[in-house]
Amino acid sequence: MRRTPLALLNLIHDRKKFLTSMAGVAFAVLLMFLFTGFKNALYDSQTQLLSRLNGDIVIINRLKENMFVPRAFARRRLYQAQAFDGVEGAYAIYISDARWKNPDTRKTRPVRVIAYNPSDPVLPMAEVLARQQELRLPNTAMIDERSRAEVGPRETGVITELADREIRVVGTFSLGTDFASGNGNLIMSDQNFLRFFANRGPEEEERSFATADIGLLRITPGTNIDTLVQALRDGLPQDVLVLPMNGPEGFIARERTYWEENTNIGFVFSLLTTMGFVVGIILVYQILYTDVADHWSEYATLKAIGYDNAYLFGVVIQEAVILSVLGFIPGLLISALFYNLGAAVTGLLFQLTLRRVVNIYMMTFIMCLISGAIAVRKVQRTDPAEVFGL
Amino acid sequence: MTAPRSSSTTSGLPPAAEASIQVRHLNYFFGRGDLRKQVLYDISLDLHPGQIVIMTGPSGSGKTTLLTLIGALRSATDGSLRVLGQELVGLGNRQLVEIRRNIGFIFQAHNLFESLTAAQNVEMAVELTGNFRGKRQQAVDILSQVGLAERADYKPAALSGGQKQRVAIARALVNQPQLILADEPTAALDKQSGRDVVTLMQHLAKEKGCTILMVTHDNRILDVADRIINLVDGRLESDESPQQFADSHAPKSLDQKMFIL
């Protein structure tokens, strides 16, 4: 036999009140999930294209501080890099923004065009690999089905205009938007890229195969990336930057760090998350305090018959922990729903990783603990002598 | 006011038996500094096992204060107060909690947890003894002694006022305390339920040989007492048998006092 589970029974005794309490905690959990979700989505989305690129080492213009900066580098550098021991392949990626006409509304929206030689394994996504032949046809492209709704229907067969030139959509892929992508992404062959961007008019930059935006290097298995990166840095002219793809000093980490350090996203959403946390503390405190106040004479009686403060402290803290668990579960489920919704509407990457779930649960737990610690003072001050002569 | 102020050791059982409660020259004050106010003056009193003692007196006379001091719910500082062989004066909070575990408390309100069944409410008291294995059996046993065997798994909301008070009594009795302190246990009950409750207490006191100290204004139940103590303005006014009490408080001679009661 166990101890009578007083905390649990007190909490669930009044069903209606219990559901309201749970909803309160769930709401605080939802707030925290949403705000950290938006923050992470904005950060994660910046690197979703980069982390799909199939390369071990990246070469970019030294001035390309982030993906937003349209600085290209001389494609010669890629051929030079190819001469180094351990470099298996070097691929050029061309990136440009262009106006895309929504075929339904006839309004133009900027989108990002990613171009490369379809024979190069740059973006090894199954949908893309399956459309290699179609991409080689003139004036064709594939569209990101997670582009924002403003670009119109994101499906195969759409014929519209890109940079005032007719384009046919021959397939879709799934990537998602970020700060640099505008309203969505297109993938096309390098040949088509030339057709669209070689001669766009006097105000626009003329693109050619002489420059590339990102250079991808594949290395032969067994090569040490760090030594190769060092060798490339020493061997190549100083106008390019050589970075490993992954790792703390890598290209992906650098992009994420840029947005973390140069925008207010982190501050704003951390502030909002903290507010969700505080709202949670107040809500849970209210719930626990009401329980203590409603059962004041019963708790005082327990003290009178010989229960000590530690026991009552335990009861209130148990209530707090039970609330944190029971409120967290619905909060998590609703948040998952909102994450899907948010991803569908914005094209941003909303990831609900185990670590983030654990983090938010820890915050919920601490939130309930703080509330419990404040509410418990009421019980501890209870003077059992006052139960007499009421 | 003809009642003599009786000496503290005489009434009730022979003096040889060890007293459950032994009070000597107890003074008690509320507040401190300029606001310090004395509420109990030089109380000396012995209560013996098997006795039912009723404490009466006008409100503000210090009855409840004396009850809470004996119940180790307040710490006494002046004089001597021995409860169940243990001196309470000068004890710390932690030790007072220990003492309280050996005392059964019955309050005016039943103070049962609405979320727990009758049996669970009683089990809360059993758990204090660390007996987790037999707690259910003990609770059911005591509930059947107070006539609530059938209602063991009912929550308080499904019980009548008298039944709830009987559950509270079961909770006070379940650990077989040597001392039971009751504060107006019948005040919230109708005549019949009130009578049932005190008869039950009387019966249990005789059977288990415990001391019962009860504060009450309820004239209907004075007859169960072995002794009646009257407290006025913090002083022990009289200590007599129910018969003496009834005589001295006969309406003819003491109209005014009846109003106060």
Could A389 and B133 be called an inter-chain contact, meaning their C-beta atoms sit closer than 8 Å?
no
The conformation of residue B108, written as its DSSP 8-state character, comes to S
Helices of type H across A47-94: 76-82
pLDDT of residue B212: 92
Q: What is the pLDDT of residues B3-21, one digit of tens each?
A: 444 444 444 444 445 788 9
Chain B residues 85-104 with CB within 8 Å of chain A: 94, 97-98, 100-101, 103-104
Average pLDDT over residues B109-136: 91
Q: What is the pLDDT of residues A253-276, one digit of tens each?
A: 999 999 888 888 888 988 999 999
In tens digits, what is the pLDDT along chain A, a chain of 390 residues? Answer: 578 889 999 888 889 999 999 999 999 999 999 999 988 888 888 889 999 999 999 999 999 998 888 899 999 999 999 999 999 999 999 999 999 999 999 999 999 999 999 999 999 999 999 999 999 999 999 999 999 888 999 999 999 999 989 999 999 999 988 888 889 999 999 999 999 998 887 777 788 999 999 999 999 999 999 999 999 999 999 999 999 999 899 999 999 999 888 888 888 988 999 999 999 899 889 988 888 888 888 888 888 888 988 888 899 999 999 999 999 999 999 999 999 998 888 888 888 999 999 999 999 999 999 998 888 887 777 777 777 754
**Choice among A58-62, B227-231, B256-260 with the minimum mean pLDDT:** B256-260
Could A298 and B98 be called an inter-chain contact, meaning their C-beta atoms sit closer than 8 Å?
no
A15 burial level (CB within 10 Å; 0-12, 13-18, 19+): exposed
How far apart, in Å, are the Cα atoms of A189 and each of A134, A214, B211?
10, 15, 99
Residues in chain B: 261
- Mutate which: B75, B111, B126, vs A, most A CBs within 10 A: B111
The CA distance from A155 to A230, in Å, is 44
Residues of B in contact with A383 (CB under 8 A): 73
For residue B21, the surrounding DSSP H or E stretch is: strand B21-30
The CA distance from A66 to A258, in Å, is 7
Q: Which of A9, A303, A387 is the closest to B116 by Cβ?
A: A9
Question: Which chain B residue is nearest to residue A390, measuring alpha carbons?
Answer: B108
Phi, psi of B9 (to 5 degrees): -105, -5
Helices of type H across chain B: 63-70, 93-100, 118-127, 135-145, 161-173, 191-208, 242-248, 255-260
State the sign of the Cα–Cα–Cα–Cα dihedral B250, B252, B257, B259.
positive
What's the gap between Cα A172 and its chain centre? 22
Q: Which of B101, B105, B115 is the closest to A9 by Cβ?
A: B115
A314: closest CA of chain B, how far (Å): 15
- Check if A121 contacts B (Cβ < 8 Å): no
Could B111 and A301 be called an inter-chain contact, meaning their C-beta atoms sit closer than 8 Å?
yes
- Check if A308 contacts B (Cβ < 8 Å): yes
How many Cα atoms within 13 Å fall on the side-chain side of residue A374? 15
Average pLDDT over residues B116-129: 93
- Check if B110 contacts A (Cβ < 8 Å): no
What's the gap between Cα A173 and its chain centre? 19
pLDDT of residue B250: 57
Judge contact between A152 and A103, C-beta under 8 A.
yes
pLDDT of residue A251: 94
Helix A265-294 vs helix A309-346: crossing angle, to nearest 10: 140
- Check if B125 contacts A (Cβ < 8 Å): yes
Rounded to a whole number of angstroms, the CA Rg of chain B reads 19
- Written as six digits, the tokens of A198 are 């070689």
Residues of B in contact with A9 (CB under 8 A): 113, 115-116, 120
How far apart, in Å, are the Cα atoms of A176 and each of A108, A149, A180?
19, 12, 11
pLDDT of residue B60: 83
- Where do we find the tokens 């106006």? A99
pLDDT of residue B12: 44
Phi, psi of A137 (to 5 degrees): -70, 150
Is residue B199 over pLDDT 60? Answer: yes
A20: closest CA of chain B, how far (Å): 17
pLDDT of residue A354: 93
Return mean pLDDT, chain B. 83
Phi, psi of B29 (to 5 degrees): -125, 145
DSSP3 helix / strand / coil % (chain B, rounded to 5): 35, 25, 40
- Check if B240 contacts A (Cβ < 8 Å): no
pLDDT of residue A389: 56
- Check if A297 contacts B (Cβ < 8 Å): yes
Phi, psi of B209 (to 5 degrees): 65, 35
| B37-47 β-sheet, strand order | B37-47, B21-30, B78-83, B86-87
pLDDT of residue B5: 43
pLDDT band per the 50, 70, 90 thresholds, residue B74: confident
Could A9 and B105 be called an inter-chain contact, meaning their C-beta atoms sit closer than 8 Å?
no
Phi, psi of A382 (to 5 degrees): -55, 125
pLDDT of residue A145: 92
Could A301 and B105 be called an inter-chain contact, meaning their C-beta atoms sit closer than 8 Å?
yes
